[in-house]
Each structure stands twice: as structure tokens, then as C-alpha cells.
Structure 1
Amino acid sequence: MTNAENRLESAVRAARAGSEIAAEGFREEITVETKSNKTDVVTEFDRRSQRRVIEEIRDEFPDDVIVGEEEDALREVPEEGDVWIIDPIDGTNNFVRGIPLWATSVAAVRDGETVAAANVCPALGDTYTADANGASLNGEEMTVSHRTDPETFTVCPTLWWDFDRREEYAATVEGIVKRFGDMRRFGCAQIVLGMVADGALEGVVSNIVPNPWDTVAGVFMIRQADGTVTDIHGEPWTTRSRGLVASNGEAHDEVLAAARDAEPYFDK
């Protein structure tokens, strides 16, 4: 077994372990706390799930760096070395409302490049994975949609625009509605990125700076499924990019244009 294959198995195992902890609190009476604002919520199950994921990783890779959303995990991805990026519950707002669209995400990165990723969605019964050999959903190979006509595309705005950035949010939605056949919003970045990888969506757009735990695993899956992911400027997306524009690659410029409709309202 190669090191990369070992890391995929470890990512899946850690994500499943964390998701099992999170699932204990799903649709139960739990305490919901706020962090930076009224829509930035957290629960004890976020914290417990992250601790469980970290335990699994530390058992095999005690010296690797861990980047995560909760508690005292590192927040930025180092450019060198072996790194694990984790989100114990991506889509906590869905989680606390009893909506089954949430995931436990684990990605393995080496010298700034993702080598393996797993997004486990226990309430859906779905597991998205990717490594050097490609991307899969529940063990079946994923590939992006082959649609070429933007008027048949379904595109999703993702991540979150706070109350002082609603003009950008509205402009993004308008940009999607006027260009494409339909729009969806699901409230879980990792799941919607997986949907692009699996061909359920043709595009995902945002003009803000995303967190690595919300994006790295899903971006890797899209690329391994032959899709395209750039920043707001059309350059290849990295963890230091502003904006995230993902597509099946068939009309990426049009998807990018929808994301850029928010730019006149962006406070530079």
C-alpha cells in the first residue's frame, strides 16, 4: 500500500469516526451557541466530533499538522509538510435545524497539494472520496456533468455572506438566475462541491475568501473528476485565493461571470 492510499483510508476512517459522534446529536435536543455572529453557530457535537477525528489521525500520524475549524486547531494551511484539514460538521446550520445536508470532512495535504480526501454524510448515507486515482461516491467513480449549454446548467451560490455583504450575495444570485437554467442553495459547501464532482450540479460560485476546512476536500474531488476550480480572477484555486468558482469545465467563463457580478459591491 502506498503512502497516499494509506492516507485515503485514514481520511475515510477518521471522517466516519467523527461523523458517528456528530450523528448522535442530529435531530436531538442540543444547545446551540453562536461564535462571530448570529448565523455562525456551533454545538458541543462539533467539538466532540473534531476531537474524535483528531484522535484517529494522531494514532497513525502523530507528527502531522492539523488544520481545523473548532477549538485550538491551526487555521491556515502550511505550504510545506504533511497536513490534515478537518471540518467536524460542515453545514452546522443545517445540522441544528434537522436538515440532513451536512458532512464530516477530512483532507490530507502534502507540501500544499491535496493527496486524499473524504466527506462523510451520515444523514444521507453518502461518502465522497478522492485520491490520485480519481473521485468516487459510495465506491462508484464520479465524473462531472457533460452538459455544455449554460441554459441547462444548475448552479449554486456557496459559503456565506454576512449581513453587511448582502448586496454581494444578491448580485451573485441574480448573476446565476439570469445566466443559467436553475439555481440551488444547500448550506453545506463540501456537499455542493461533491455534487459538482458527481455531475448533479454544473457550477458553484462565491466571491469571498473561503476557509480551507470548507473547501479543500471538495475542490480536490472536482479536479479528480475532471472539473475546473478557479478563484474570482480565473486563476487556479488555492487555499489563499479569494473567491471559489467551480464548474464542469464546459462553460467555466460563464460561471465565473456570475461570480464576478458581485464585484461592484465588494469592499476592496
Structure 2
Amino acid sequence: MTDAHHRAAIAERAARAGGVVAREGFRADHAVETKDNKNDLVTELDRDAQRQAVATVREEFPDDAFVCEEDAVRDDGADLVDDVPETGPAWIVDPIDGTTNFVHGNRTWATAVAAMEDGEPAAAAVYLPSQEELYAGGPDSATRDGESLSVSDRTDPERFVVAPVGWFGMDDRDAFAALCRAVVERFGDMRRIGSFQATLAQVADGALEGLVCPHATHVWDTAAGVHLVREAGGTVTDVHGDRWRHDSEGLVASNGEAHDVLVEAAQDARN
């Protein structure tokens, strides 16, 4: 097994391990806290799931760096860093992507783990525990529960289903409305999933033709799903149409057809 395939296997194992921890508390009573605003939620299950995912990776790669969503978890001996290193390996962990869905009892949430190499995603897993689906991407493959993934083959934007993605506070609803308008004016239909990683997985799986996020993203929300889309034959860029990186301005993912129209929607939403 090559190092890249080894990392892909460990990403799957870690996503499953963290997801199982989170699933044990799904739809159960647990304390809910807020971070930046009243809709930016976190639970102790986020932290417990992150600890488990990190511990699983460290069994095989004890010296690698980690970039994780729950910054409060710094007591397990792992090398948690604030930014993705430009050289060498690193792991990106989002223990519950879609915590609002999780707290509200909505089944669409994910545990995501990505292996980075020199600042680029090299392997990834997005596990949807309450739906028992595992999306995985290696150095040359993308699968859902072991079956190959492929992006949609639709070419007509008026037949596309596209997801607007982003975080919008109560004082920023005009921006959210602008994004939704930019999408519905150009494409056949719109979905808002509530989990960035699950949305990217649906693009990789052909259930959506694309997604549009016009502003900066967090790497834990994106890296794993970006790798899935690329390995499934899709395209992922920033809002200017340039190849997406973890520090890019916005994110636009598509099946590769009419990608310029999705970029146009992102730019229109920003303006």
C-alpha cells in the first residue's frame, strides 16, 4: 500500500470513528453552546467526536499536524495548528459538519476528515452517520459505500439543481438573499442542505450539479468534499474561476459543465 492509499484508509477509519461517537448522542438530550453568534452552535459531542477522529489518525501518524474546527480540544497531545502547512502532511477534521442540523434532529450532518499534502487535499472521507453513508476519496478514486462516484452529466443550466452555501447572521440577510437570487435566476432549482461537506458530497455523487459560496470558507468545512468532487470528475474553483485552495476567496463546485455560469452567480452575489 502506498502512503497516499494508507492515508486514504485512515481518513475513512477516523471519519467513521468520530461519526459513531457523535451518532450516539444524536436526538438525545445534550447541552448546546454558542460560539460567534446564537446560530453558531457547538455541543460536547462535537468535541468528543473530534477527539476520537484525531486519536484514530494519531495511531498511524503520531507526528502529523491537525487543523480542527473545535479549537478548545487541545488536551490530547495532538499537534493542533491554526493554519494548513504549506509543506508536508496535515489532517483536517470537522467532527460534526452541520451542527445546527444535528441539534435540530435533522439527519443530514457529517464527520469529515481530509489528509493534506503540501497544502492540497490528497485523501478524504465524509461520513454521514445517521444515514449510514461513507463518501471516500483516495489518490485516484471517489466512492460512496464502495461504489464509484461520478458527477452529473447534465449540461443545461436551466436543468441544474444548485445549492447556495454560506453563513449569514441576522444582520447579513441581504447577502443571503442576494446569493439565493443569483442562483434561482440562473438555474432550474435550488437546495440548501445545511452541511457544507454533505453538499459537496452530493455534487460528487451527481445529486446536485453545483454549489456556490461567495465568501471565505473554513478548510474543515471544505477540504474533504473538494477532494471528492475533483476525484469524481468535477471542477472546484474560487469565485474568480481559479483553482480552489484552502485559502481561496469563496468556493464554486460543479460537474464541470457550465461552470462559468456558477462563477458568474458567485460574483453577482458578492456584488
TM-score, normalised to structure 2's length? 0.95
Residues 200-211 of structure 1 aligned to structure 2 (within 5 Å):
200-211=207-218
Instruction: State the Cα deviation string for residues 187-237 of structure 1 (Å, max 9, x = none).
Output: 000000010011000010011110000000000111111111111111111
SS at match of 1:221: helix
Of 159, 170, 176, the match for 2:183: 176
Q: Contact 1:167–1:262 at 8 Å: present in 2 too?
A: no
Task: Specify the alignment match of 1:261 in structure 2.
Answer: 268
Match of 1:167 among 164, 167, 174: 174
Which residue of structure 1 lines up, in the alignment, with residue 197 of structure 2? 190
Deviates more, 1:155-164 or 1:127-136: 155-164
Q: Give the alignment's Cα RMSD to 1 decimal.
A: 0.9
Question: By how many angstroms is 1:74 displaced?
Answer: 2.4
Shift of residue 27, structure 1, vs aligned partner: 0.4
CA deviation vs aligned residue, 1:169-193 (integer Å, no higher than 9, x gap): 1111001111111000010000000
Identity of aligned residues (%): 53
Secondary structure at 2:130 match in 1: coil
Matched to 2:87, the amino acid is E
Instruction: In structure 2, give the amino acid aligned to 1:204.
Output: L
User: Match for residue 86 of structure 2?
Assistant: 79
Q: Equivalents in 2 of 1:245, 1:133: separation in Å?
A: 22
* Structure 1 counterpart of 2:247, from 240, 243, 250: 240
Question: Which residue of the partner structure matches residue 64 of structure 1?
Answer: 64
Q: Is 1:52 aligned with 2:59? A: no
Aligned pair count reads 264
Offset at 1:105? Answer: 0.4
Aligned partner (choices 204, 211, 216) of residue 223 of structure 2: 216
Task: Please tell me the residue identity of whatever aligns with 2:43.
Answer: T
Gaps of 5+ in 2: 75-79
| TM-superposed deviation, 1:113 | 1.9
Indicate the residue corresponding to 2:140 in structure 1. 133
Q: Aligned residue for 2:2?
A: 2
Contact (CA 8 Å) 2:166, 2:213: kept in 1 or not?
A: yes
- Within 2, Cα distance between the matches of 1:229 and 1:203? 9
| Residue-by-residue CA offset, 1:20-63 (whole Å, 9 max, x unaligned) | 11001100011100011011000000000001111111111110
Match of 1:153 in 2: 160
Gaps of 5+ in 1: none
Structure 1 length-normalised TM: 0.96
